[in-house]
Structure formats: structure tokens, C-alpha cells
Structure 1
Amino acid sequence: MVYVDNVDVTSILISSIFTIGDVYRAAPTSNILAVQKEGSEYIPGTFKFKDYDIFNLEPSPPLPPITITTFTYQNNPIVVDDIEIKGVSTAGVFQIGGIDHIISKNRTKHFRLLQEDEQM
């Protein structure tokens, strides 16, 4: 059992997870094309994930599991008073409770298209 008195969250964005209680597995994933375009109007369909190799690459192998000292509360609840979260974003996980597996993946292609570059 988890008892939380107050959680104040400003934002949770882009495939992020906020959970209270135990979870076996969390696997948030996000693919983002971030285009900063100067000048002419945006034309839908101009940018496609398939056009950028980063979205087609195989992920690197996961790191080996780490061993940490944990506390086991047999029949005792987790009690939290107050939490203030400004933001959780881009395949992030905020967890109050137990979790066995986390596999987060984010791929972001960010670029700028400036008018002076387009004229060349």
C-alpha cells in the first residue's frame, strides 16, 4: 500500500509515466522530430520519421542490471507527505512504490531551417 498526502505536478509530457503503487514494468518510448523553421509556412507531410536514420537504428544493448541495497517493508505501507514536481518529460518515469523493470527509449532529431540557409 502507498499513502500519499499531496502531489503537486506542473506537467507530464511526451510519453512520460507517473504512477502511485507497485508496477511490474514501465516502457515509455518517444520518437520526436523537432523542427525549428524560420520563414515560410509549414507544409504538412514535409518531415517523415523514415527519412532519418536515427529512427531506424537498432538500440544499443541494455546495460547489465545493477544491484542496490533495498528495504523490504513486509506488510508496512509507503507513506509520503508532500511532493512537488515541476516536470517529467520525454519517456521519463516518476514512481512512488515498487517497480521491477524500466526500459525507456527516446529518439529526438532536432534541426533548424533558417532562411539564409535556404537561399544558398
Structure 2
Amino acid sequence: MHDRISNVGQIYTIGISNAGILNIGDSHQATPKARTMAIQKEGPTIKKDLQFEDYSIFRQKANWPKTLQSAKVRKKTIHHDVNINVRQVSLMALSTSSIFQVGNLNKISSEARVKHFRMLQDNEQN
């Protein structure tokens, strides 16, 4: 990987969360990972203690597409300028293992696992 100089004038962003990355400059490798439980609930607070290990989605190995693992790609990039010039970026949000990169990134492996819960109150009237 050939180093380049990243020149950034302005970046406006509202939020970065859940293993989101905003990176200016060169990086050899990025591996953001997020494990999240999203709960939509009616009524009083949750009394149950939720653990990632209780749900198989967080214990399973990732099922990456085989074509990506075995594909051999030859790539030649010619940089006509040693500088990467960015005048202005307006970015609303980065979340759940996403990356905004200004510069070189040699290898990326990103993963997000989300378990959604919907806990509704019993609608029976007493």
C-alpha cells in the first residue's frame, strides 16, 4: 500500500455510534464489529437480564459468501497525485460497523449482528 496524504477541509457529522468509524488517513486494516439488541417495548421497564450468549445469532460463525473468500483479484492502481483532496463532506450518521474513510484502506472485514425484540403488553381486559 502506497501512503498518500489526506487533506480534508471540513467534515460535518451529526452522529457516530455502534462501531462506526470516521478515519482520515491511511489504515492497513479495519475490522469493526457490533453486537446489538434492539428492544421495542410497551409498558414498564424490562426486568429480564438479557445476555448475548443466550441467543444463537451471537454464537454462530459468520457465513461469508464463498465467492469472496476464494476469488483471486489482481488489481493495479495508479495514483496520479500523492494527495487525496476533500473540500467538504456533510455526513448525517455512521452506525453499526460502517466506515467513512478518506485515505487508503488495505483490508476491511465488517460485521454487525442485531437481535430485535418486540415486547407487547397483553391486550386482554380484566
Per the shorter chain, which TM-score range? 0.7 to 0.9
Higher strand share: 2
User: Normalized against structure 2, the TM-score is what?
Assistant: 0.82
Question: Aligned pair count?
Answer: 117
2:52 is equivalent to residue 46 of structure 1: no
Report what 1:30 is aligned to.
34
Structure 1: 5+ residue stretches without partners = none
The one-letter amino acid paired with 1:80 is: V
1:33-54: CA deviation from partner (whole Å, max 9, x where unpaired): 11112112222x5211111110
Taking the aligned partners of 2:85 and 2:113, their CA distance within structure 1 comes to 35
User: Normalized against structure 1, the TM-score is what?
Assistant: 0.85
2:61 is equivalent to residue 61 of structure 1: no
The structure 1 segments of at least 4 consecutive aligned residues displaced by more than 4 Å after TM superposition are 65-69
Task: Quote the RMSD (CA, aligned, Å).
Answer: 2.3
Report what 1:72 is aligned to.
79
Distance 1:110 1:67, change over 3 A: farther
- 1:70 Cα deviation from its structure 2 partner: 3.7
Structure 2: 5+ residue stretches without partners = none
